[in-house]
Amino acid sequence: MNTGILNTDLIELICILVFFLGFYGLIATTNVIKSIVFLWVMEMAVIMFFLSIGYNIGIVAPIGTDLVPGQVADPLPQALMITTIVIGLAVTAVNITMLITLVRKHKSANWDILRKKSSES
Amino acid sequence: MASILEIAGSVLIAAGAILMVLGTFGLLKFKRFYPRILISSKIDTVGMLTLLLGLVVRHGFSFFSAKIVLIIVILLILNPLVAHILSRSAYMSGE
Amino acid sequence: MIYAILVLWIFLAAIIIPERRGIRIIIYFAIFSLVTALSFFLLGSPDVAMAEAAISTFSTIFFVICFEKHFRLKADGEGDPEKKEVSKAAAAKKYVLPLLLIVPLFALFIFFRPGPEVSTYLKDLYITRFAQDVGGVNAVTSIYLAYRVYDTLFEALVLVIAIVAVSHMSAFKEMTVPDGEHSDIERDGLAVFTIRIIAPILLLFGVYLVMNGHISPGGGFQGGVAVAAFFICRYMIYNIYDMPVKKIIRLEEVLFMTAVAIAVFGVFLGAGTFVPLEYLRLYQESYLILMNILIGLKVACACIVLFYRFVAIERR
């Protein structure tokens, strides 16, 4: 548990803020395209949170032959986050397919109208 | 003691940055679509090319400069195409 | 520097919430992804930045080609003129009630955040040992091709599942369209001429990224997406849907099984014990290049199949 807010790392704070902005947009809006976009926004916030671990001013990429561990970025989160981004493409493609099937069937992309129409039929 | 090449490269980079700032000012000043597409293509083409040329001049003759020259060639081919396609689709959709 | 970019990042995430027009949501989505890629680069991870830029471009293309006909459908419903007389109480219920849920959750996350002490044991181990364990110069490629190769294989499996799910969820059952059927998108002659010049450079760039993945930023994922972009250019030049989709899916499965076989083979036949010392570097580099080529071709096949699926079948 970490009580002080002032001694927090600023990038972590920004990532949590953007994550909850995406969550708020997911709840408060009724457009399905917006829902897909906000899922992507939340995923990007999580990836930025992982990449900012151990960030310092003047840090360099972990590419080279004689690396000093204090001066380079952490390569393990980067290797995991590359796979996460490609999985994000798969998620977006499946989401778009489901949405376009719904739009073709009900002629609308609004959650309220879609819920009403699917409960009628 | 900076050499002449470094001074010339810095001047070119500064000129590119100034062109970009002027282009952004014009983008905010005009309200219609066609003046805006004119100005924004100036930002892409002139400002960016001047900045990259400044980098090439600063670094001298090396492999890094060759890669930047390749980027300059691709930008020179693609940027007018982007402006052309944007204005064409704006014309066809009745702007 | 990074903080200025991050402020722009928050602004772009917040500006999507009140937007009403469908096409503007997608434009903001593209700008948001590119700003994210720039921030990743400033955080010292060029590999992730390249993957992010390439993948977000593909997502934007999918959005545009699918919803091009539905943008005027009032996709929102929030901008409908007959919905203007919604009472203020309903609007407050819609926008303020989620806020009451979000703010305590946000405060809880801030309060129970992990502390600033970071364990650097794995980081030090990987950075000091990857050059002799795995070979190569790029630490990220060495980790996702050797230390963590099963994560990468699982990700490749997810792409196969995505293709199956896309063809299962769709309203159309056929996988391909008949040969020689041209699309109804009208082309521009200047665009076709310019893309003819650019496309070979793009293919060359993709192959360069795949082959140099172990000594420079890049690798299988980014290079595979660049190779798939070449096939998008091919579609834009000839305007024809003649890809052998079933053969490409079969090739993708074969490539995936080959990658799994090579990974298992590499684990049970660890280097250093069987390989003589003077051939060790050759063995390591050929393993890295071979795995990068397999994963790159696999990602390229998946992206080509998804693009042709969307542009030929889903957008009708």
- Chains within contact range of chain A (3+ C-beta pairs < 8 Å): C
The pLDDT assigned to A1 comes to 44
pLDDT of residue A93: 92
Other chains touching C, judged by 3 or more CB pairs under 8 Å: A, B
Q: Hey, are the CB atoms on C198 and B78 less than 8 Å from each other?
A: yes
Residue B58, domain extent: 4-92
**How distant is the Cα of A50 from the closest Cα of chain C, in angstroms?**
11
Q: How much is the pLDDT for A118? A: 80
For residue C295, is it within any domain?
yes
Pick the CATH number of A10-60+73-120 from 1.10.275.10, 1.20.1630.10, 1.10.287.3510, 1.10.3720.10: 1.10.287.3510
Residues of C with Cβ-Cβ distance to B88 under 8 angstroms: 188
Measure C13 CA to nearest chain A CA, in Å.
7
User: Do C194 and B81 lie within an 8 Å CB cutoff?
Assistant: yes
Q: What is the pTM for the complete model shown?
A: 0.88
Judged by CB atoms closer than 8 Å, whether chains meet at A37 and C25 is answered as: yes
Judgement on whether residues C70 and C155 belong to the same structural domain of the protein: no
Which of C86, C117, C148 marks a domain boundary? C117
User: Quick one: C159 and C90 in the same domain?
Assistant: no
How much is the pLDDT for C78?
Answer: 46
- Rounded to whole angstroms, the Cα distance separating C177 from C243 reads 9
Query: Would you state the pLDDT for residue B95?
Result: 67
Chain C residues 9-28 within an 8 A CB cutoff of chain A: 9-10, 13-14, 16-17, 19, 22, 25-26, 28
Measured between CA atoms, the residue of chain C closest to residue B71 is: C201
Tokens, residue A62: 């972990």
Is chain A adjacent to chain B, meaning 3+ CB pairs within 8 angstroms? Answer: no
Give yes or no for residue B91 having a pLDDT over 50: yes
**Same domain (yes/no): C164, C273:** yes
Nearest to A90 among C110, C158, C314 (CB): C158
CA B27 centroid distance within chain: 14
Measured between its terminal Cα atoms, the distance across chain C in Å is: 45
Look at residue A8 in the predicted model and tell me its pLDDT.
54
Q: Which domain holds residue C63?
A: 1-117
Task: Tell me if C129 is assigned to some domain.
Answer: no
Query: Which of A62, A23, A63 lies closest to A41 in space, CA to CA?
Result: A23
For A27, residues 6+ apart whose C-beta sits below 8 A from its C-beta are C98, C101, C102
A78 touches chain C (CB under 8 A): yes
**CB C142, CB C220: distance < 8 Å:** no
CA C88 remoteness from chain centre: 42
- Closest to C75 (Cα-Cα) out of C87, C61, C63, C90: C63
Residue C277 lies in a domain: yes
**What does the block give as tokens for B1?**
């003691």
Interface check for C68 against chain B (CB to CB < 8 A): the answer is: no
Summarize pLDDT for B1-46 with one digit per residue, the tens: 578 888 888 999 999 999 999 998 988 888 888 888 888 888 888 8
pLDDT given for residue C86 in this prediction: 60
Angle between the C149-169 and C280-308 helix axes, to the nearest 10 degrees? 10
A46 touches chain C (CB under 8 A): no
Classify residue C134: in a domain, yes or no.
Answer: no
Total domains, chain C:
2
3-state secondary structure chain C: CHHHHHHHHHHHHHHCCCCCCHHHHHHHHHHHHHHHHHHHHHCCCHHHHHHHHHHHHHHHHHHHHHHCCCHHHCCCCCCCHHHCCCCHHHHHHHHHHHHHHHHHHHHHHHHCCCCCCCCCHHHHHHHHHHHHHCCCCEHHHHHHHHHCHHHHHHHHHHHHHHHHHHHHHCCCCCCCCCCCCECCCCCCHHHHHHHHHHHHHHHHHHHHHHHCCCCCCCCHHHHHHHHHHHHHHHHHHHCECCCCHHHHHHHHHHHHHHHHHHHHHHHHCCCCCCCCHHHHHHHHHHHHHHHHHHHHHHHHHHHHHHHHHHHHHHCC
- Whether residue A4 lies within 8 A of chain C, CB to CB, comes out as no
> Are C223 and C296 members of one domain?
yes
Tally B–C CB contacts below 8 A: 16
**Can you give the pLDDT at residue C180?**
62
* ipTM confidence: 0.90
Most B CBs within 10 Å, among C186, C192, C193, C197, to test the B interface: C197
Q: Which residues of C touch B81 (CB under 8 A)?
A: 190-191, 194
- Among C43, C59, C131, the residue with its CB nearest the CB of A51 is C43
- Phi, then psi, of C170 in degrees rounded to 5: -70, 160
For chain C, which ranges sit under pLDDT 70?
70-87, 115-116, 178-182, 267-274
Residue segments in chain A with a per-residue pLDDT below the cut of 50: 1-4, 6-7
Collect all residues of chain C within an 8 Å Cβ-Cβ radius of residue A95: none
The predicted structure's pLDDT at residue C37? 93
CB atoms within 10 A of CB A25: 24
- In-domain check, residue C76: yes
Three-state SS at A72? strand
Q: Could C188 and B85 be called an inter-chain contact, meaning their C-beta atoms sit closer than 8 Å?
A: yes
Residue C106 half-sphere exposure toward CB, CA atoms < 13 A: 19
> Structurally, how many domains does chain B consist of?
1
The predicted-structure confidence for C233-252, as pLDDT tens digits, reads as follows 988 888 877 778 888 889 98
Same domain as C313, residue C178: yes
